[in-house]
Amino acid sequence: MTKMRSIKSIAIATALCASVAAPAQAAEDFKVGLILPFSGVYGGLGGEIARAFELGLEVFGGEVNGRKIVLVKEDTEGKPNTGLAKTKKLIHSDKVDVLVGPVSSGVLAAMRDTVHNSQTPFVIANAGHDGISGSKCSPWFVRTSFSNRQIVRPMGQWMYDQGHRNIYLMAPDYAAGHQMMGHFKAGFEAAGGKIIGEEYPPLQGTKDYAPYLAKVKAAKPDALFVFFAGGAAIQFVKSFGDFNIGKDIPLTGAGWLTSPLYIKKQGEGANNIIGSANYVTTIDNAANKQFHAAFKAKHDRGGSEFGVQGYDSARVIVEALQAVSGNTSDKAAFMEAIRNVSFDGPRGKLRFDPINGNIIQHIYVYKNVKKEGVIGPEVYDIIKDVKVPSDGCNS
């Protein structure tokens, strides 16, 4: 049975209940559960997604057909067990209409079955776990962010084409770190390159990357390719700068390494880094200009790649709610409305893959350069309309 057919059959089965429940529900608040890290190594990222989600509601509308959109926030702390417990609370006690989050792939993997079995519409606003686009896919998820594969797989061939032949890998020791390095390795080796070493420091609590960088220095690779984000990225890039190996070993990786959210805290180590990302602040379209202007007016700085995912998630939910005229008693029909949303957003045309619900988007390759004393990204290359395979996605 295809996914679309399975959603429709649930929709037909629940349609009878919908007609009974609709009048009473019309004026009820529409509850969004924001399940994000507000503390821990990814705490800054969760805060940014929440800020931009709230901004999205202000811009696109915080009320649909008399239903006020209200937020219930829960802190995953970036921990799978906490994320799962808070997800159950939001679904069963708070009875949210939709969930938005999380940041960590490990947390997403932990909550997946609970969300699927309870048939709760879910908009993934960051976590890139590949299984959700493949064998662990579910009709109850869409992803406005990326899959881990989507960001790094194209970089294997790209780095080879730049002349690199021997590369060292480093990432935190959890699902996203291993998936991203695995995809980079597959792409780079298929192109003809060789991975000459890999390091996986703990995600939480690594303060000093010098012992790992000493091994990289000794191996003399053509380049170092990494994935670090949030607090871990700040710490890693500072260590890399202090270790002073950038002139011999270029630092490259998944783009969250130097987000506009924290690049100012990273110092000279951020200069010359090459990264791949699903968003850069300089995308030249009207929706991106509107996003930045609105973010700056409220927060006195521009938005970030984490922010744009929160902002777009809010718009997806508002537009889907409008499409069902505010009536979400038929959950499957509401989920189908979410999957059908498409608009011109800050990243260009936003649309979801009809099979696995993952966003289809351009991947930007950037290089940080220093101009008038300020380090920031310049786009080098654009890999267009990157889709991820739905291998094993049959639900």
Query: What are the residues binding ligand BEZ (CB under 6 A)?
Result: 103-105, 127-128, 176, 229, 256
Smallest separation, CB 177 to ligand BEZ (Å): 8
Nearer to ligand BEZ, 225 or 334 (CB): 225
Smallest separation, CB 255 to ligand BEZ (Å): 9
In the numeric block, the tokens 């503390």 are attached to 39
At residue 309, the 3 state secondary structure works out as helix
Cα angle 349-350-353, degrees, rounded to a multiple of 5: 120
Give the Cα separation of 145 and 319 in Å (integer): 17
CA nearest to 88, candidates 70, 63, 112, 105: 112
Nearest to ligand BEZ of 30, 311 (CB atom): 311
Q: Which is nearer to ligand BEZ, 138 or 329 (CB)?
A: 138
Q: Which of 170, 164, 134, 138 has its CA nearest to residue 149?
A: 134
Q: With beta carbons less than 8 A apart as the criterion, state whether 173 and 381 touch.
A: no
CA distances from 265 to 193, 242, 268, 368, 372 (A): 33, 14, 10, 14, 17
**60 or 311: whose CB is closer to ligand BEZ?**
311
Number of helices followed by number of strands (H, E) in the chain: 11, 15
60 versus 256: smaller Cβ distance to ligand BEZ: 256
Name which of 104 and 368 has its Cβ closer to ligand BEZ: 104
What is the closest distance, in whole angstroms, from the C-beta atom of residue 293 to ligand BEZ in the complex? 26
Task: Name the amino acid, one letter, at 249.
Answer: I
Nearer to ligand BEZ, 7 or 257 (CB): 257
Cβ closest to ligand BEZ, residue 176 vs residue 181: 176
Neighbours of 207 (CB within 10 A): 7
Q: How near is the Cβ of 15 to ligand BEZ at its closest, in Å?
A: 36
Q: Shortest gap between Cβ of 146 and ligand BEZ (angstroms)? A: 8
Least distance in Å: CB of 150 to ligand BEZ?
11
C-beta of 37 vs 156, nearer to ligand BEZ? 37
Least distance (Å) between residue 197 CB and ligand BEZ: 23
C-beta nearest to ligand BEZ: residue: 176
How far is the C-alpha of 183 from the C-alpha of 167, rounded, in Å? 14
Least Å distance, CB 103 to ligand BEZ, is: 5
Q: Could you tell me if 225 and 184 are in contact, meaning their C-beta atoms sit under 8 angstroms apart?
A: yes
Least Cβ distance, residue 339 to ligand BEZ (angstroms): 21
What is the distance between the alpha carbons of residues 109 and 130, in angstroms, rounded to a whole number?
A: 10
What is the spatial distance between Cα 209 and Cα 213, in angstroms, rounded to a whole number?
6
CB within 8 Å of 40: residues ≥ 6 apart = 77, 78, 79, 204, 231
C-alpha span between 101 and 143 (Å, rounded):
10
